[in-house]
Amino acid sequence: MRARLPGIVVRETRPVDFPQIIAVGHVVYPESPPWTPEQLTSHLRVFPEGQFVAIEESTGLILGMAASLVVCWDDYDLTTHWRDFTDNGMFTNHDPERGRTLYGAEIMVHAVAQRRGIGTKLYKARRQLVERLGLLRIRAGARLRGYSRYAHRFSAEEYVVKVVNGELRGPTLSFQLKHGFHVLGVVPGYLRHDPESLGYAAVIEWINEAIAKPEDYAGRDRRFDRRIDLEPTASSA
């Protein structure tokens, strides 16, 4: 575990943050940097409460960001692509009247600051938002970074089962699982131009247990449940 970075605050995104957010995107996704000023402007127009930055207080440096919108899940399904969930990154499909699902469109932390607790703070802000708005859940596509190294040995589903059970560490999925997310399914073609994941993503969910009903957990694919391997006890040895 790396030391947590002190003095990091999370607040809602402001227009003045856009150049730094775009710069972080260039470092995290050098092959296809995400987010343009037009898209970031649109996010603030449709859903300012859903956009967060993590800032180092002493320097004013933006080290991470998270972007989300509210969707009505009945309008989509597990195989829907990222560009349709986000209306090509503009979030103009944000639907607070009908939607009960916070869709996590982005979370990224500057490469020099990863594994130091910033992603955890951004997720905490997201969960608090869901609770404050009385939403049922967060859903997102966790791109399977790291799958390309295993693609010659395992299918994407097999890879995810191994990450869920801790046999492999997935650079993004292990983080999401640690934050109480459950895998609903594995989809191809989720992100274009992503050589690390070969386009595969795990669709993941965190449920707001304070308001969830039993039917909200129904229909889960049991292959992605974490297997509990019981240690043999002294008496059974």
Ligand X SMILES: CC(C)(COP(=O)(O)OP(=O)(O)OC[C@H]1O[C@@H](n2cnc3c(N)ncnc32)[C@H](O)[C@@H]1OP(=O)(O)O)[C@@H](O)C(=O)NCCC(=O)NCCS
Q: Which one among 11, 45, 169, 220 touches ligand X, defined by CB under 6 A?
A: 169
Q: Which one among 81, 127, 145, 162 touches ligand X, defined by CB under 6 A?
A: 145
The nearer residue to ligand X, 18 or 103, going by C-beta atoms, is: 103
Q: Which one among 12, 20, 23, 28 touches ligand X, defined by CB under 6 A?
A: 28
CA-based nearest residue to 104, from 52, 32, 163, 39: 52
Rounded distance between C-alpha atoms, residue 60 and residue 35, angstroms: 20
The nearer residue to ligand X, 64 or 99, going by C-beta atoms, is: 64
The nearer residue to ligand X, 59 or 236, going by C-beta atoms, is: 59
The nearer residue to ligand X, 79 or 98, going by C-beta atoms, is: 79
Q: Which one among 98, 178, 192, 223 touches ligand X, defined by CB under 6 A?
A: 178
- Spatial strand order of the sheet with 51-56 comes to 8-12, 51-56, 61-71, 101-109, 137-143, 201-207, 182-187
Backbone angles phi, psi at 17, to 5 degrees: -80, -15
In the structure encoding, which two tokens stand for residue 198, read together?
């070969």
- Binding piece for ligand X, criterion CB under 6 A, among 74-82, 90-98, 164-172, 224-232: 164-172
Q: Which one among 133, 150, 174, 221 touches ligand X, defined by CB under 6 A?
A: 174
Rounded distance between C-alpha atoms, residue 104 and residue 139, angstroms: 6
Rounded distance between C-alpha atoms, residue 30 and residue 166, angstroms: 29
Say if CB 147 and CB 156 are below 8 A apart. Answer: yes
Name the site residues for ligand X (rule: CB under 6 A): 1-2, 28, 107-109, 114-120, 142-143, 145, 169, 171-172, 174-175, 178
